[in-house]
Chains A and B, each alone.
Chain A
Amino acid sequence: MSTGAGEITARTVLVFALATWPRRIVVGTLLLIPVIVAVFGGFGGAQVESHEVPPGQQVDVGAMVVTPTAFFVSDEVERSFLEIADAEAWLGVIVEVDNLTTETLSLTFSRGASDAVSPALDEALTTAVGWSYPDSVLRVADATPGDRALPGVRTQVALMWPLTDADAVGETLDITMTESELTYSLMSKEDVWMSLGDVWTTTLPREDLPSTLFEPKDDF
């Protein structure tokens, strides 16, 4: 390949950058920065903080404030859905949710896996697809669909996971709440949930199924 006079090539750029002593010092410093940083202990790792909180405490996970209070295990709610999911019972985590963003958020966190609120469940126990987010969400007050957290509208919902073995869940349940953000992914060109790291854990007491969620059996 012929090179005309004055053309920009890798060679000419290199020559330009090393032409004078000041430039050589600058280049040298740039190359040495990783070494210098390493000497001073390196960059701090992203600090993931873990907090233990009591049930009933408000936790700001970024996109929303969640307040988990209790959990239940029951097969007397959403009966037909339970049959379809081929499960024994629902694990329901009762949380109050306050959406701090300007967009309505799906509490089944369907866009990309979210760890915003996850019960510590053995994967084998639940038939839910992507077990870190719930299959079904009901508004506790009247068992209507509660899967939407509306901006500025605080609501109490039951996040529900279908269980294959209802007896495997004891009197207490550990749940983790992870700081999460719904961001726009340029790669997949859609909104996805991103875990930001900070984690809160709490141990919830077991309660009976709230009477407002009870669904009478259809006797045909």
Chain B
Amino acid sequence: MTTPPPSPDGTVGDPQEPTRTPSEADVPTPPRGIAATPPRRTDPTTTRSGRARTATVIALVLGLAGTAWASTDFLRTTWRMAEPRSAVTAGEDGTATLDGLTVGLVEAVDLGAAPSLPGSDWQPPDGFHAWRVVLETTSTNEDLITCDVALVDDRGRQFLANYFVDSFVEGYEYSYTCGVIGPDDDIGPQQALLVLVPEDATPRSVQIQQFTLNPVYLELEIG
């Protein structure tokens, strides 16, 4: 005579009930009787194969997460910081501030294809215009020295100041100082910069960028 296995609630099947030796033809049926014990359900988290499966799934997820973390390392570090991606725009007073650097756009003017530039006989090549950009700057950031200033058009093209132009035009700075300006430097709060822009371009904004500020940059709208 064999004893049926205990059911999950710990009680043993009624010992008064006649039991049969199980055979392969047996179809599991609840024992006949008044106190029918509920059919035993196999709980996936407690049986041995169920536990192994759960552990495998967890290990797989952790492994995938770890691999994803490792393989996106370049994306998260180098790529993300490589180029300017997120803009800090001007507030109500027309200035934008980032890391102690506050810039306001005084003017961005198209000087045309044949500007007269004091102290220089440089002219833009055919098909280009010269633009004058004046920025009002206050900086308490000691890590910065110079920054790039770009006129950006509606096609997203960036035209950088002080490239492909005469560096020594009177009244213009040959580089844009975004670091702390000492009392001895003869750079005023307003700096004028010369930009070469193709005549088919319509600049919409001025961007101030520096790779140490990446991925953030300052953006000031024109007009």
Query: C-beta contact mask, B31-66 vs A, less than 8 Å → 1, else 0?
Result: 000000000000000000100100000000000000
Residue of A whose beta carbon sits closest to that of B48: A1
Residue of B whose beta carbon sits closest to that of A2: B49
Query: C-beta contact mask, A1-23 vs B, less than 8 Å → 1, else 0?
Result: 11000000000000000000000
Q: Bound state CA distance, A2 and B49, in angstroms?
A: 9
Q: How many residue pairs bridge A and B at CB < 8 Å?
A: 3
Interface residue count for A (Cβ, 8 Å)? 2
Q: With a CB–CB cut-off of 8 A, which chain B residues contact A2?
A: 49
Residue of A whose beta carbon sits closest to that of B52: A1
Q: With a CB–CB cut-off of 8 A, which chain A residues contact B52?
A: 1
Q: With a CB–CB cut-off of 8 A, which chain A residues contact B49?
A: 1-2
B49 CB, nearest partner CB in chain A, Å: 8
Considering the complex, which residues of chain B in the window 45-103 have a beta carbon less than 8 Å from any beta carbon of chain A? 49, 52
Query: C-beta contact mask, A154-176 vs B, less than 8 Å → 1, else 0?
Result: 00000000000000000000000
Q: With a CB–CB cut-off of 8 A, which chain B residues contact A1?
A: 49, 52
Q: Bound state CA distance, A180 and B49, in angstroms?
A: 56
B190 CB, nearest partner CB in chain A, Å: 37
A80 CB, nearest partner CB in chain B, Å: 24
A136 CB, nearest partner CB in chain B, Å: 30
Considering the complex, which residues of chain A in the window 1-58 have a beta carbon less than 8 Å from any beta carbon of chain B? 1-2
A64 CB, nearest partner CB in chain B, Å: 35
B56 CB, nearest partner CB in chain A, Å: 11
B78 CB, nearest partner CB in chain A, Å: 16
A7 CB, nearest partner CB in chain B, Å: 16
Q: Bound state CA distance, A153 and B52, in angstroms?
A: 66
Considering the complex, which residues of chain B in the window 99-141 have a beta carbon less than 8 Å from any beta carbon of chain A? none
Q: Bound state CA distance, A2 and B52, in angstroms?
A: 12
B20 CB, nearest partner CB in chain A, Å: 27
B130 CB, nearest partner CB in chain A, Å: 38
B90 CB, nearest partner CB in chain A, Å: 45
Q: Bound state CA distance, A1 and B55, in angstroms?
A: 14
Q: Bound state CA distance, A1 and B52, in angstroms?
A: 9
A188 CB, nearest partner CB in chain B, Å: 16
B92 CB, nearest partner CB in chain A, Å: 51
Q: Bound state CA distance, A1 and B49, in angstroms?
A: 7
Q: Bound state CA distance, A1 and B56, in angstroms?
A: 13
Q: Bound state CA distance, A2 and B50, in angstroms?
A: 13
A198 CB, nearest partner CB in chain B, Å: 40
Q: Bound state CA distance, A1 and B51, in angstroms?
A: 12
B125 CB, nearest partner CB in chain A, Å: 34
Q: Bound state CA distance, A2 and B47, in angstroms?
A: 14
B47 CB, nearest partner CB in chain A, Å: 12
Q: Bound state CA distance, A112 and B52, in angstroms?
A: 47
Q: Bound state CA distance, A2 and B48, in angstroms?
A: 11
Closest CB pairs A-B (n = 3): A1-B52, A2-B49, A1-B49
3 A-B pairs (CB sep. < 8 Å):
A1-B49, A1-B52, A2-B49
